Amino acid sequence: MAGNAFHKYLLEEREKCETLLKDSGAYDRVPEQRSSDQIHCYRKLGSIYLYSGETDLAGRMFSNLSLFGTAIKKSRFDIKGFKEEDKSDLSFLVMIAKGEIENAIYLLLAEKNPDQVHRLVTWAAENSDLPPDYVGGMIGVKGYQEVAVGYLWHGYALICLGRYGEALPLLTQVIPLFVQTRKMGIEVWQKVEYALPKALVPLCEFKLDPTADRLKAAQEGIETYLKSLKMYRDRLSGLLYYFHLKKQFAEVYEADPASFVPSSGKEAKQPIAAPVTGREKDPEGMIVMVLTQLDPPKVWTLGSFGCYAEFEAFTAYVSSLGGYPALEALMDTYTLEEQQEAPPLVEECERLLRLRDLDPKVRAVAEEILSALRTAVQEGAILDCTVVEIHQG
């Protein structure tokens, strides 16, 4: 597991968790009374062991997790430890459904009780479906984040059940809903939920229309999902779903696109009406890039991408070209309020501008951004880049 900073982080977390479990007598056996720290360490170690190829140790950790919390609930009201009024709260039920999905993952990764796995994800799918009147009400009060999370976990459960046509139209709305949340100035703290559609959408698209190109996109999508989790704690948390998808859909992720033969049948998609986000009612600001230097402190406000729609068009165009990961990640940088290093953006802008048939609008933006980036990089040694929206007046 040597080689980069994330590997080092995993080694440190492994040592902490192994020490905690061994010191509390919970490593080689599962105590009847378990602390939340012990449970979190079982989950972390399961993912870390899988990452390092220690499948037997990983299986033990997930087996430990499967010893509790995997009993099937008879109904959506069969939830212990919560107030009665909470049990009819749809956002609460989505949270419980996420837990049932995770319980199913623990069993699957421990290679135990496949019938129970199916029953758990079935319960999650049946109890996380957001009715249209609820969605409309939440959109009306700009509760985009709640709808995004509900769509994500309902879609995930549907994928586990092979109901790809129902899952896809939900999952394609998750990131736009999170982006709308960010446009309102609200922090998007669900980093894993934001990133998961990058793996789930191309997986659905391949299952619905299996072609060699879609197979390649699905295989690239799951790696993009994991790499897009820039904070190491988020990436460690996201490993659980990465390994689950890799295992349940091994026939997708282990296939060779070069020798792939498409199947004859296609599953019909089941479209649903997309919610009206009300973006057209929001005052449009300008999306700009900001560079910061810590020592000595200095800030550069770079050229503008234009309004949000123009920024969205720029990132979508670059994404369609492929091979420009730093530029493609600008949308994530904006939505999640994260930062990027400046030098890769310089290299990618220079490479982008060498394309002869580049869209004129994209070329103009890239030239403006590159000019400002070069100036800042020449003046400062260590720079971080972020993308923000500013309003006049």
Last residue of a domain, one of 202, 226, 259: 259
For the ranges 13-27, 149-163, 167-181, 199-213, which has the lowest average pLDDT? Answer: 167-181
Domain housing 103: 69-259
- Please state which of the ranges 18-27, 155-164, 174-183, 225-234 shows the lowest mean pLDDT: 174-183
Distance, in Å, from the CA atom of 149 to the CA atom of 274, rounded to the nearest integer, reads 15
- Whether 90 has a pLDDT exceeding 60, the answer reads yes
What's the pLDDT tens digit per position in 343-364? Answer: 788 889 999 999 989 999 899 8
Do both 192 and 76 map to the same domain?
yes
How do residues 268-297 score in pLDDT, each as one tens digit? Answer: 444 444 444 444 444 456 777 776 665 555
Q: What is the CATH number of the domain that holds 170?
A: 1.25.40
In a domain, 24, yes or no: no
Confidence label for 158 from pLDDT (cuts 50, 70 and 90): very high
Instruction: Please check whether residue 371 lies inside any domain of the structure.
Output: yes
Q: Are residues 251 and 300 in the same domain?
A: no
Q: Are 301 and 251 part of one and the same domain?
A: no
Q: What are phi and psi of 306, to 5 degrees?
A: 95, -160
Q: Please tell me the predicted confidence (pLDDT) of residue 302.
A: 62
Residue 385, beta-bridge partner list: 291, 340
- Domain identity same for 104 and 251: yes
* Cα–Cα nearest to 72, from 42, 46, 107, 44: 107
Are 233 and 87 in a shared domain? yes
287 and 251 share one domain: no
Q: Flag the least confident range among 24-33, 205-214, 330-339.
A: 330-339
Instruction: Tell me, yes or no, whether 265 lies in a domain.
Output: no
The count of domains in the chain is: 2
Residues 127, 254, single domain; the answer is yes
Domain-embedded: residue 315: yes
In a domain, 266, yes or no: no
Residues 297 and 252 in one domain: no
Query: Is 106 among the domain residues?
Result: yes
Give Cβ neighbours of residue 327 (< 8 Å, ≥ 6 apart): 315, 318, 345, 348, 349, 352
Say if residue 100 is in the same domain as residue 248: yes
pTM comes to 0.77
Indicate whether 319 and 244 sit together in one domain: no
Looking at residues 105-124, what average pLDDT do you find? Answer: 93
End of a domain among 208, 227, 259?
Answer: 259
Note the pLDDT of residue 274: 44
Count the Cβ atoms, other than its own, within 10 Å of residue 365: 23
